[in-house]
Structure 1
Amino acid sequence: MDTEPDIGAPDMTGRGGSGDERCRERHRGLWTEEPAVRPRMPDPVRAAAVRAWIIVAVTLIEAMVAFLCTLAGSWFAFPAVLSTVASTVVATWSVLDVWVTRQVWNQRNGVVSEPSSTARALRRERRRARREARRAERSRPPGRRLSEA
């Protein structure tokens, strides 16, 4: 009788089966995967959104510093206010960039939910042309196919 436990699957609880399986049953992960409520944003749009959030956050911090320096009567108040005004213009531009990037991505990739979408009609025409090409190739005699030439 061999009393040593199997090295590949140690039995820590005294029950049969591998220890890894029991550990998975006993411990759940740090998080659970849940389906997303909204689909993920396209990469260019998400990059523009992250950039805009960072710029807006820096602008708000800069505005707070300018406000506090103004209250304290510091010499840094005037340059901080000028910098905040410039940052506000940049932040506005970056938020508009998110909107423009989203619109451009939608136009280029044909993501329009209307049934009369131009992109959808183009895809339909391409599918129809591919089907007709396949039918034409199938109707040719076996020795005359384009793919074999």
Structure 2
Amino acid sequence: MGSDTVTGTAERRGAPRVGGVQVTARQEAAATDRDHLADEAETTAREAGVPAHKEGRDVREQQYYRPLWVEEPARRRRLPDPVRTAAVRSVLLIALTLIQAMVAFLCTMAGSWLAFPMVISSVVSTIVATWGALDVWVTRQVWSQRNGVVSMPSSTARALRRERRRARRQARAAERTQERIRRRGGAGQLSHS
């Protein structure tokens, strides 16, 4: 029995033999790609002044074992924890509401006694889900007001903080001046030096 009858696939019948083993077109293409990448890496290494390897095996292994993914910086910043919690709660409430609405619809179609209670609970769930969605927006606004906007030169929160600091400094300076005057023996006395 030949190797053609052992494999029994139409793909391997006309496949070329390399070292006594039949190679499929897919395997041959993958090997060609690997060799091509290794040749490119060797050329790049030679141009960069890195000494070339004798067999080029290390370069091929380096090209073959690439990382599975490359970390990229996030385009948007992570949500603050209170806002994230409110968003998760809202998504769960909305999902539960949709499930209840579907069950109410199916019970109504089937003429089940459970239809009326499910419709009532769906109405209540809709109100609660709406509250949950509004809660995300309110929590986000409150967090932004308390913690300021993203620190940018045009940020209004920065200017407000600067004004508050200036006002606090002036108030402290005025208190110190009043304390000094009181310690010296009362208001209105001028020291003669």
Shared fold per TM-score greater than 0.5: yes
Gaps of 5+ in 1: 1-14, 17-21, 130-149
Aligned residue identity for 2:144: N
Aligned residue identity for 2:97: T
Aligned residue identity for 1:71: M
Cα deviation, residue 37, structure 1: 1.6
Q: Are residue 67 (structure 1) and residue 67 (structure 2) matched?
A: no
Q: Are residue 28 (structure 1) and residue 71 (structure 2) matched?
A: no
Q: 1:20-49: per-residue Cα shift (whole Å, max 9, x none)?
A: xx68970423x4322212111111101100
Instruction: Tell me, in whole angstroms, the C-alpha distance in 1 between the residues paired with 2:71 and 2:84.
Output: 21
Aligned residue identity for 2:146: R
Aligned to 1:82: 120
Aligned to 2:145: 107
- Identity over the aligned pairs, expressed in percent? 66
Mark the CA change 1:111 to 1:65 in structure 2 (over 3 Å): closer, same or farther: same
Aligned residue identity for 1:50: V
Mark the CA change 1:94 to 1:24 in structure 2 (over 3 Å): closer, same or farther: farther
Check whether the contact 2:149–2:155 (CA below 8 A) recurs between aligned residues. no
TM-score between the two structures when normalised by the length of structure 2? 0.49
CA RMSD across the alignment: 3.0
Instruction: Tell me, in whole angstroms, the C-alpha distance in 2 between the residues paired with 1:58 and 1:79.
Output: 15
Instruction: Tell me the number of residue pairs that the alignment of Structure 1 and Structure 2 aligns.
Output: 110
Q: 1:48-75: per-residue Cα shift (whole Å, max 9, x none)?
A: 0011001101100110000011001011
Larger radius of gyration: 2
TM-score between the two structures when normalised by the length of structure 1? 0.62
Gaps of 5+ in 2: 1-56, 170-193
Instruction: Tell me, in whole angstroms, the C-alpha distance in 1 between the residues paired with 2:145 and 2:122.
Output: 34
**Larger RCO, structures 1/2 (Cα 8 Å, 6+ apart):** 1
For residue 91 of structure 2, the aligned residue among 33, 44, 53 is: 53
